[in-house]
C-alpha cells in the first residue's frame, strides 16, 4: 500500500476548487459509518447531504443527531436525489443493494457511486458502472461509534481506495474532504487488506476482553486500568519494531510457566483457552523463525498446547477441554436484509 497525498491541514477541509464542489450527497444506510461521513460532508460549504435512508430506531436517532434536517427517504429515492451516492451498508448486503439500485432505474450516467466496504473493490459496483455511473471504493480504516466523537478520529485516518485512474483525483478529494489520507489498494488485494484490519482491530477487542476476564477471575478490581499501560506500550513497541517487541513466557520458551497458564485458564476461564493456544502457537512460529526460540523448545511448547486442548478426557469440545458438553450453536437471528449499517466492523475496521 502507498499513500498518494498528504493528510489535509484541517478536518473536513478539501482543497479549493475540488471535484466535489456543488455536489449533492445521498447516504444509503446511515448507520455508524454513513451518518458520521455524511455529517462531515454536510458541514462542508461545497457539498450538501440531501437525503439518507435508515430503518431502525437507533439509526433514525443517529440521523437526527448527526444529520439534522436531512430528508429520511427510501433507498431508491435517496439514489435519485443525489449526485454522489454513498453506500454504507454491510459487506454481504452490498452486491444486492447495488443491483437493486441499478435494476430499479434509480442510478443515472455520470453519477458518483461510492461504497465504504473494506472487503469489496470495484467489481461489486459493476451494475452501477454498466449504467454509466462513476464508481469508487473508499474504505475508512477506523472503528466507529456512530457519534460526533468519530469526526475527530477521521483526521489523518487512512482510507483504502480502489478507483479507476481517471477518477483518482475525485477519490483523493473525497478522502481529503473527510479528513483522511488515501492509500491505493489493488482490486485483487481488497479482501487481504480488510483481513489485516479486522485481525488487528476486531480480534484485538476479543483478545483484550478475554484478558480482562482472566484478571477479574484472578481478583483484580480494575482490569482495564491494569492492562492499559501494558497494552499501550506493547502496541506502540510492535508498531515501531514488529516481532522484535515480543516478550513473555512463550517467546522466552518458559515451558513451566505456559503449562501453569494453561492449567489455570482451563480451570477458571475455559472459554479463553482456544484463543490463548492459537496465539501462543503463532508466537512460537514467529520466534522460531527469527531465531530466538530453539526448535526443541518450540516442540515442547506445542505439545503442551496440544495436551491442554485435548484435555484429560480427550474429545475436545470448543470452549472447555475434556468435557462432553454440547457445542452451542451461534445465534444468527440478528441478521437482517435492511440496507442499514450498524456493526464495527465497521471498521471497520469493519
pLDDT, tens only, 34-46: 999 999 999 999 9
**What are the CA-CA distances from residue 233 to residues 86, 144, 155, 209 (Å)?**
37, 23, 23, 18
Question: 123-172, pLDDT tens digit by residue?
Answer: 999 999 999 999 999 999 999 999 999 999 999 999 999 999 999 999 99
- For residue 318, the model assigns a pLDDT of 41
Mark out the alpha helices in 8-54 (DSSP H runs).
32-42
Residue 333: its pLDDT value, please? Answer: 30
As given in the structure block, the three cell numbers for residue 61 are 436517532
- The pairing of strands 2-3 and 181-184 is antiparallel
pTM over 0.85: no
Amino acid at each position: 500500500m502507498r499513500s498518494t497525498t498528504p493528510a489535509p491541514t484541517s478536518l473536513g477541509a478539501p482543497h479549493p476548487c475540488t471535484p466535489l464542489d456543488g455536489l449533492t450527497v445521498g447516504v444509503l444506510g446511515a448507520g455508524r459509518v454513513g451518518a458520521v461521513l455524511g455529517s462531515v460532508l454536510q458541514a462542508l460549504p461545497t457539498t450538501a447531504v440531501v437525503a439518507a435512508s435508515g430503518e431502525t430506531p437507533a439509526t433514525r436517532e443517529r440521523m437526527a443527531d448527526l444529520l439534522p434536517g436531512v430528508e429520511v427517504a427510501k433507498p431508491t429515492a435517496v439514489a435519485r436525489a443525489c449526485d454522489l451516492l454513498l453506500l454504507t451498508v454491510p459487506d454481504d448486503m452490498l452486491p444486492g443493494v447495488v443491483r437493486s439500485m441499478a435494476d430499479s432505474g434509480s442510478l443515472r450516467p455520470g453519477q458518483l457511486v461510492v461504497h465504504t466496504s473494506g472487503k469489496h473493490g470495484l467489481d461489486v459496483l459493476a451494475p452501477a458502472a454498466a449504467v454509466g455511473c462513476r464508481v469508487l471504493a473508499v474504505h475508512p480504516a477506523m472503528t466507529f461509534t456512530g457519534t460526533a466523537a468519530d469526526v475527530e478520529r477521521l483526521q489523518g485516518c487512512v482510507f483504502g481506495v480502489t478507483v479507476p485512474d481517471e477518477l483518482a483525483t475525485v477519490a483523493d478529494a473525497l478522502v481529503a474532504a473527510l479528513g483522511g489520507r488515501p492509500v491505493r489498494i489493488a482490486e485483487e488485494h481488497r479482501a487481504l487488506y480488510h483481513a489485516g484490519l479486522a485481525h488487528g482491530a476486531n480480534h484485538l477487542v476479543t483478545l483484550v476482553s478475554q484478558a480482562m476476564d482472566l484478571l477479574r477471575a484472578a481478583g483484580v478490581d480494575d482490569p482495564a486500568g491494569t492492562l492499559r499501560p501494558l497494552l499501550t506500550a506493547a502496541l506502540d513497541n510492535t508498531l515501531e519494531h514488529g516481532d522484535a517487541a515480543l516478550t513473555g513466557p512463550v517467546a522466552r520458551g518458559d515451558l513451566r510457566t505456559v503449562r501453569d497458564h494453561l492449567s489455570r485458564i482451563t480451570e477458571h476461564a475455559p472459554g479463553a483457552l482456544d484463543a490463548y493456544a492459537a496465539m501462543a502457537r503463532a508466537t512460537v512460529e514467529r520466534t522460531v523463525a527469527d531465531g530466538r526460540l530453539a526448535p526443541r523448545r518450540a516442540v515442547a511448547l506445542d505439545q503442551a498446547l496440544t495436551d491442554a486442548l485435548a484435555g484429560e478426557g480427550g474429545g475436545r469440545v470448543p470452549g472447555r477441554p475434556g468435557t462432553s458438553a454440547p457445542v452451542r450453536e451461534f445465534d444468527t437471528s440478528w441478521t437482517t436484509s435492511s440496507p442499514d449499517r450498524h456493526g464495527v466492523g465497521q471498521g471497520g475496521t469493519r
